[in-house]
Structure 1
Amino acid sequence: MNFVKRAGISLGARKPKTAALLAIFTVICTLLFGGLLLQAAAAHQEADVRRIIGVDITVKQKGLTSALADRLGASDIVNRYTPQLPVRAAGHGLTPLTSNVSKPDDETRDKDPGPLAVNGVRDSGMLLPFSYGSTKIMAGRGITPDDTGRAVVLIEQRLADENHLEVGQTVQVRSADGERTAALTIVGVFQDPTQNPTGWMPPHELPGNALYVPMDTAQALGARGATVSEAVYRIGSPDQAEQLHAAAERLLGAGSFDFRVNDKAYKDQVHPIQQVGTFSGLIVWVIALASALILGLIVTLQIRERRAELGVLLAMGEKKWKLIGQHAVEVAAAALPAVGLAALAGQLAGQPAGDALLGRQDDKSTLAALAQDAEMTPLTVRVEPTTVVNVAGIGLGISLVSTVLPGIGILRLHPRSILLDNE
């Protein structure tokens, strides 16, 4: 009789033990699904966090121009970037804020080039106060790369309240020399947490008199030859910082610029996720090895119980490798339906487990604060076809190892000694 057909008859004749084997394999496969699903979710979450947070590099150099900052930002490893071009301007029909304290008599009375601090940016979300959540957009949106060539402005809430301005309204801003005037549409209102100083401060140093506009608008309002105060670049990981530094040296000259790496947020968010991924991978290996050991012991006990059956088959001329194959088929037959049951259990329990380990509410709020303008993908843990294939492969591998190794003992059996021992 074919050993595969004999394995099916044996499974049917030994229903309680078959059910027990199926239950054991279902538990094993469920644990494997849990480990692999958690590992996949951790990898997805890590990639999302890398994209959203990344590592911020601040580059400063005396005489840094917008063109040089753009050339460095064109590097393949740079995900987002923004230069910052500060200029002074005055409002036309716009009342700037002033200190509540009178100007000291000993303060120099030089001509004020403009009470408004206008900052030309490419992407306001890349500025560290916006990026890390201390400065927040209260209405509308920030300045984006798509605003290049548009007459738009991001205004501080205190200045907006003072002038009764809202998103969508237009303000007039005049250059410091009074020769150029720009009509800017308010696209957003932000709140700077810096309190108004208790002493006298020049108007342009008051936090409420800060405006953010696209780079070309700032260049049009500023004096000829105005330079960038700093440029912020976002890369994927700390490992790429050396590459960007080398690119900056080639472009700006070695030792001529300040290069600061800010990777605290990256480490705070990515490292815990990496630890979860490593832990889940370790779980898969431990489960596979422990399962092979447990099933190997079970098969060894079954072989001892079925010595008489094996002796009869050997006496009838059955080949020993077919006896090992029969045990392998019996175990594999229990493994395959267990994969289906475990996949259903993984689909039901995977999302709650993933939320518990990777989607804690405090982490979500931190990510939201770190990337206000970024689109965050919600954490999803679901059984994919590749996961089912991987679990099935591991399960069959466990069944093969757990039957072949104990089956070595079958090769040492002799029909005569088995039958005499069982008389």
Structure 2
Amino acid sequence: MNKIYNPKKEDWKAILERPTKTVADIEATVNQVFEEVKGGGDTIVKKYTEKFDGVSITDFLVSDDEIVEANSLVSVELKEAILLAKENIDTFHSAQKTEGIEVETSPGVQCWQVKRPIQKVGLYIPGGTAPLFSTILMLAVPANIAGCNEIVLCSPPNKEGKIHPAILYTANLCGVTKIFKVGGIQAIAAMTFGTESVPQVYKIFGPGNQYVTVAKQIATKHGVAIDMPAGPSELLVVADDTANAEFVASDLLSQAEHGIDSQVILVSLSKVLLENVEKAIEEQIQDLPRKEIAQQAIDNSKLIYIEDAETAQELINEYGPEHYIVCVEDEGSYLSAITNAGSVFIGNYTPESAGDYASGTNHTLPTNGYAKQYSGVNLDSFMKSMTFQKISKQGIQEIGSAIELMAEAEGLQAHKNAVTLRLNSLDDE
């Protein structure tokens, strides 16, 4: 890993740069696929599935028989683990329900807010080098709690034209409405425009590679909302001599194995810890089945020594990590200082993997610095707030003159007239 000691602030931007392509590098490809899918529907989706996934699919919709078969292929032990995780995720997200509010802002002026579910949502579940069935739990569970009517799931097929059994089992368990064997840009485009097979949705959720990330951003130009610009995974750990170097190394590797464009960073006030973690990474990486992927990510990652906590905290907020592990003696100061992070993990016995799977928090989080302005997925992500108001005769008299004055000052006479007519009618009574 790249070791950096007390970097100057003017160098932080370059040091903390993510190893990702810019939108411009791949936007042309995404736009081409979108335009073709918009005009050609399933035929074009089939074309790009053959091109990108290397398989010809005649029917994108997963059948009931395929779901039954998948159910038989998932071990009892894995099913039990998925059920435990589902229960914790359900508990945490159900607790996020809030009551509507109702206020009388002025005498006779009633205002209230009600939340309604988004009716049609699309879930994108990566299934290439790692079939992320855990992401279904993170998306379908809150979607069901919110009350979404239609939950569509797209995931790329393997070379045999199938989706991983654990993905199908989990999707069926969590109440997904329809499952489609479609991945990549063409999946996002299909959910954006709708095809003969894939329904159009109102909002798209889920992580993916850089092409999927750009495709989701392009989808917003066509009237479809997205959860966030979630791209390659990343982790920042801050640790001191109270941290277990082997634990820290395992956490860094757990994110590095996601993909070659993942990034992990260790920030520490201890040079000794940096050295020990580096050694532990070298040892642990040898036994990983995804060693080659993890190694390329590690090559893009950093070990950063900072000599004081205040500077370390400032650098961490500047980075805005997706996942942030705090493993220091004075954890309180780091927790109070953090303003930009997707999800925070505290102490030697809180691995980031817990949030990925079974603690109950959501693992669909902002990456690439978007933690500075985006929240991770939560129950409200699947809902929208609607406001209502009802004004009585007394109410319009209370606020009417203020509305007239403000409308006139903005040069909007019809706005003023809408109030004046009502006030005059009351004067005639």
The TM tier, using the shorter chain, reads under 0.3
TM-score, reference length from structure 2: 0.22
Structure possessing the higher relative contact order (Cα contacts under 8 Å, 6 or more residues apart) = 1
User: Larger Rg: 1 or 2?
Assistant: 1
